[in-house]
Amino acid sequence: MLRKLGKSNQVAIPKEILKKLHLNSNDYMDVYIEDNKIILEPKIVIPRDQAYFFTEEWQKDEHQAEQDIQSGRLTETADLDELMEEMDK
């Protein structure tokens, strides 16, 4: 789809592409050159203090926890003291 470079060097992305990629106004795009082409890559910006939760290590542990929950590998306790006793076993 041919687009014209507008004022402030802006390019409008066709609605069909926005819909297909689930993009909305104010979404972030990484813009870079690859093989002499301009590439627009959608990105999600994560606050620095939340970045650890998206590391491979954290996601692996989350996956393991989800598997434990689904298979019933749980321990229920009435309060924190009981939980600590259970963890000491």
In a domain, 15, yes or no: yes
pLDDT at position 75: 87
| CA–CA separation, 1 and 36 (whole Å) | 18
In a domain, 58, yes or no: no
Per residue of the chain (89 residues), what is the pLDDT tens digit? 899 999 999 999 999 999 999 999 999 999 999 999 999 999 999 999 999 998 999 999 999 999 999 999 988 899 999 999 988 98
Do 28 and 41 meet the contact criterion of CB atoms below 8 Å apart? no
DSSP 13: P
Name the domain count of the chain: 1
In a domain, 11, yes or no: yes
| Residue-number span of the structural domain to which 11 is assigned | 7-43
3-state secondary structure of 38: strand
Start-end of H helices in the chain: 15-20, 56-70, 80-88
| Domain of residue 38, CATH code | 2.10.260.10
In a domain, 30, yes or no: yes
In a domain, 18, yes or no: yes
pLDDT at position 89: 84
In a domain, 69, yes or no: no
